[in-house]
Amino acid sequence: MVTRTSYDRPGAADAPSAPSTVLVTGGAGFIGSHACVELLDHGYEVIVVDDYSNSTPQVLTRVERIAGRFVGAVYELDIRDRRSLSAVFDRHSVDAVVHFAAHKAVGESTRMPVRYYDNNVGGTTSLLSAMHEHQVRRLVFSSSCAVYGDAGGGPLDESTPARPASPYASSKALCEQILSDVCRHRPEFVVLCLRYFNPVGAHPSGLLGEDPPGTPDNLMPYVAQVAVGRRKRLPVFGGDYPTPDGTAVRDYLHVMDTVEAHRVALDHLADAPGMRVFNLGTGTGSSVLDLVAAFRSVSGRAIPFEIVERRPGDVPELIADASAVARAWGWRPTRDLSAMCRDAWHFQQLNPHGYAGSARRFGKEE
Ligand code: NAD
Ligand code: WQD
């Protein structure tokens, strides 16, 4: 179902002419919404499809407000609905697709494995069919460090064998396999798989950020909700890991750096045929307590925490060797842990109850 197009709206004619049109699946989600801003800021025409299964339409109003430009069209649909998805490609001359739409909660995937395979793998095959039908051959795919599983310590490069440890991780590894096969047998197809480590933070405006439903699974939104007083204390999962302070170490990456890498990826899609895989990370590990200390420092708030049992499935350390992407495109992240915490805190302060609770604050457009 088309919900709106820029052609219907006042001001659309003033939009700068864009070099090309990018379809963003999952464009209302955490990373997708920041990517839409990045692409609009760089002159792309952006078409969004999202079923809002983990997001809200008002996010896209904020995207447009930040960018000062309209998203070309927004379609509320499940990408597994092949007919509706095909109709989107009929209506727009799409040059490339950035595919974020997926379910992403590792724990939930262990309770609902079929739902995860159906959405993540089924969504991807449906998208590939529609792309094939419409001769759209350029794709940037959201993959994850989750495909590495428990690969041991030290920075992981892209040659690390996949050992997915959850249905979510397996669904991403399967999508990579499918994409690789498609590229092998259809040489005109070009795919960049980006394996993100831990994207966190928010747009510096404080208008866009991470707004998980219910109790956050992930560390940064949990810490932010403790700082703002929505939750009493942070459970720190494990204090006996073989790490400098005993808490688990991850490679946190600012969401703005993450989406800049996608824009750069679009510029480089045509550099080489076939499928290429790149890690997106900083190469720097931070422990849970490092992140808590950084957040405390930027927010000036106490972050009470309690060390509890390890979370099943967690590994002591996951750090990217992100040198391949730097060598290939010269792309390097520029924002440190302090900036990640500062921007996450800004979003949390402006939106203490997430997007829904802050609707009035931002006036009529929401
Ligand atoms: P998100 O849940 O915020 O965004 C995903 C968006 O896709 C949501 O708006 C959701 O409504 C939509 N969606 C889901 N299934 C859909 C379907 N069948 N049809 C249409 N829309 C659908 O997640 P995110 O954090 O922005 O993650 C984006 C992508 O990056 C995902 O593919 C995720 O697996 C991957 N990834 C995320 C992280 C992370 O830590 N956030 C890390 C590595 C990889
Ligand atoms: C980070 C650290 C927790 C919450 C996940 C997915 C991965 C990828 C990135 C999608 C861990 C600890 C957390 C809390 C805590 N996503 N923690 N208390 O697990 O590294 O990666 O996001 O592809 O697939 O698994 O991220 O933010 O959940 O946890 O102590 O309340 O914080 O144990 O060490 P994770 P996270």
Domain boundaries, the chain: 18-354
On whether the CB atoms of residues 266 and 140 are closer than 8 A, the answer is: yes
With a 6 Å cutoff on the Cβ, whether 27 touches ligand 1 is: no
Residue nearest to ligand 2 atom 18, measured at CA? 236
Q: Phi and psi dihedrals of 336, rounded to 5?
A: -95, 180
Measured from the Cβ of residue 271, the count of other Cβ atoms closer than 10 Å reads 12
Helix (H) or strand (E) holding 106: helix 106-111
Residue nearest to ligand 1 atom 15, measured at CA? 102
Residue bearing tokens 């810490």? 223
Residue 352, C-beta contacts closer than 8 angstroms, at least 6 positions apart: 228, 229, 230, 358
- The shares of helix, strand and coil residues in the chain, as percent rounded to the nearest 5, are 40, 20, 40
With a 6 Å cutoff on the Cβ, whether 197 touches ligand 1 is: no
Cα–Cα distance measured from residue 105 to residue 218, given in angstroms and rounded to the nearest whole number: 9
The answer to whether residue 49 scores a pLDDT higher than 90 is yes
Q: Which ligand is nearest to the Cα of residue 116, counting in written order?
A: 1
pTM for the model: 0.94
Q: Which ligand is nearest to the Cα of residue 193, counting in written order?
A: 1
Tell me the per-residue pLDDT of 148-159, one tens digit each, with 9 for 90 and over. 998 877 899 999
C-alpha of 61 from chain center: 18
219 CA → ligand 2 middle, Å: 6
Cα–Cα distance measured from residue 135 to residue 180, given in angstroms and rounded to the nearest whole number: 18
On whether the CB atoms of residues 94 and 22 are closer than 8 A, the answer is: yes
pLDDT band at residue 4 using 50, 70 and 90 as cut-offs: low
**Can you tell me the mean pLDDT for 165-176?**
97
Cα–Cα distance measured from residue 217 to residue 75, given in angstroms and rounded to the nearest whole number: 28
Of the candidates 254, 197, 325, which has an alpha carbon nearest to the alpha carbon of residue 38? 254
Residues with CB under 6 A from ligand 2: 104, 106, 144, 146, 198, 217-219, 222, 234-237, 248, 250, 288, 311, 314
pLDDT band at residue 16 using 50, 70 and 90 as cut-offs: very low
Catalytic residue among 75, 168, 222, 252: 168
18-354 to CATH, choices 1.20.81.30, 3.30.930.10, 3.40.50.720, 2.120.10.60: 3.40.50.720
**Can you tell me the mean pLDDT for 172-178?**
98
Cα–Cα distance measured from residue 320 to residue 157, given in angstroms and rounded to the nearest whole number: 6
Give me the DSSP letters along 288-319. HHHHHHHHHHHH-----EEEEPPPTT--SEE-
Cα–Cα distance measured from residue 171 to residue 122, given in angstroms and rounded to the nearest whole number: 10
Residue 212, C-beta contacts closer than 8 angstroms, at least 6 positions apart: 218, 221
**Can you tell me the mean pLDDT for 133-155?**
93
Tell me the per-residue pLDDT of 220-259, one tens digit each, with 9 for 90 and over. 999 999 999 999 999 999 999 999 999 999 999 999 999 9
On whether the CB atoms of residues 100 and 142 are closer than 8 A, the answer is: yes
Pair type for strands 2-5 and 73-76:
antiparallel
The answer to whether residue 17 scores a pLDDT higher than 60 is no
pLDDT of residue 14: 39
pLDDT of residue 313: 83
pLDDT of residue 365: 33
252 labelled catalytic: no
pLDDT of residue 363: 35
The answer to whether residue 13 scores a pLDDT higher than 60 is no
Tell me the per-residue pLDDT of 300-350, one tens digit each, with 9 for 90 and over. 999 999 999 999 888 899 999 999 999 999 999 999 999 999 999 999 999
With a 6 Å cutoff on the Cβ, whether 101 touches ligand 1 is: yes
Residue 302, C-beta contacts closer than 8 angstroms, at least 6 positions apart: 296
Residue 135, phi-psi category: left (phi > 0), alpha (psi -120 to 50), beta (remainder): left
**Can you tell me the mean pLDDT for 16-42?**
89
pLDDT of residue 7: 41
Q: Phi and psi dihedrals of 307, rounded to 5?
A: -80, 125
Cα–Cα distance measured from residue 278 to residue 11, given in angstroms and rounded to the nearest whole number: 38
Cα–Cα distance measured from residue 230 to residue 357, given in angstroms and rounded to the nearest whole number: 12
Query: And the tokens for 145?
Result: 């460090």
- In angstroms, what is the C-alpha Rg of the chain? 20
pLDDT of residue 5: 56
The answer to whether residue 356 scores a pLDDT higher than 80 is no
Cα–Cα distance measured from residue 283 to residue 322, given in angstroms and rounded to the nearest whole number: 6
**Can you tell me the mean pLDDT for 182-186?**
96
